[in-house]
Amino acid sequence: MPPKIKEHTCPLCKGTGFPKSMEPARPGRRIYPVKCESCHGKGKISEMS
């Protein structure tokens, strides 16, 4: 039986939960890991059918 909720790897962050930052690294500026907006840092996206 297939589950009702499908999970697949987030294409935006490729399953890491933290996509690469668009901004270039600047010296003196601390870079915080930004959670993926698509999967909310989970790395997987749940699809409800």
The CA-based dihedral angle spanning residues 20, 26, 28, 34, taken in that order and rounded to the nearest 10 degrees = -20
Indicate which single residue of 29, 32, 38, 47 sits in contact with Zn ion (rule: CB under 5 A): 38
What tokens were used for 14? Answer: 């490729």
Indicate which single residue of 1, 8, 10, 27 sits in contact with Zn ion (rule: CB under 5 A): 10
Q: How far apart are the two ends of the chain, measured CA to CA in Å?
A: 14
**Site membership for Zn ion, residue 12 (CB under 5 A):** yes
Which C-beta is closer to Zn ion: that of 34 or that of 38?
38
Name the site residues for Zn ion (rule: CB under 5 A): 10, 12-13, 36, 38-39
